[in-house]
Structure 1
């Protein structure tokens, strides 16, 4: 029930952000472009993009955390916590794509690295193989709207 309410509230929030962006995109009566509205529209669009990505990460995380118990408490813990940590990685990547605060961006980079390390440690602890090595995605491409 709580998940349904939370999902509904988040959908309403994204719709409100999109409506605000549409309203701000209307031309001024005198036909002169409004730099404040253009800037605000870009920020609203950026926020809407972030909210969509964040919502997708949350849904994927919650779905993947719903693992069936196996009778092995340790393995069950790892199978539920790995998606939780991956969700944090996915949300941190969204902040790197859309966020502007350099402190938050650095924290997001740290989250990505530490959560990947913890996933690897948990998998090793229960004897699961590690996924193939690849660079840590701490430098994601910024969205096109962002200067």
Structure 2
């Protein structure tokens, strides 16, 4: 049987489970953010990294709702879930509309390539 904790009936088992689930969610969030490879388009790259960040925040808020007792934090967690879902939807639409790559040739590169293709007499 789990030991009784001090705060509002939270057991040591609950505390360990809370910590374990938060660690799991944070690891997945960081993996998702790191998996977003730079495309050269800052807008797209920002959205691609922020989506897993927001998803992590949602999952952390859901864990708070399962384990937390403070009504202020529970309300905050509920708001985070609603707002972050809406923001993910906006960022996903932007990703769907935004090209993944910027042109591969910059003006300076184009000029250099042009010079190499010219034939000299």
Please indicate, yes or no, whether the TM-score normalized by the shorter chain is above 0.5.
yes
Q: Distance in 1 between matches of 2:88 and 2:76?
A: 18
Cα distance in 2 for partners of 1:42, 1:103 equals 17
For structure 1, the residue ranges without an aligned partner over 5 or more in a row are: 1-24, 26-36, 129-147
Query: Does residue 53 in structure 1 map to residue 21 in structure 2?
Result: yes
Alignment of 1:24-43 (within 5 A): 38-40=3-5, 43=11
- Alignment match, 1:79: 48
Partner in structure 2 of residue 123 of structure 1: 92
Match status 1:63 vs 2:31: yes
Larger radius of gyration: 2
Q: Give the structure 2 partner of residue 101 of structure 1.
A: 70
Task: Tell me how large the CA RMSD over aligned residues is.
Answer: 1.9
Quick one: higher RCO (CA 8 Å, sep 6+), 1 or 2?
2
Shift of 1:127: 2.7
TM-score (norm 2): 0.70
Structure 2 gaps, min length 5: 98-121
Deviation sequence 1:25-56 (CA, Å, 0-9, x none) = 6xxxxxxxxxxx84229521111111011000
Deviation at 1:120, TM superposition (A): 0.7
In structure 2, what is the Cα distance between the partners aligned to 1:77 and 1:38?
A: 44
How high is the TM-score relative to the length of structure 1?
A: 0.58
Aligned residues: 93
Deviation string 1:98-128 (CA, Å, 9 cap, x unpaired) is 1111111111000000000111111122336
Deviations 1:80-103 (A, max 9, x none): 000010110010011011111111
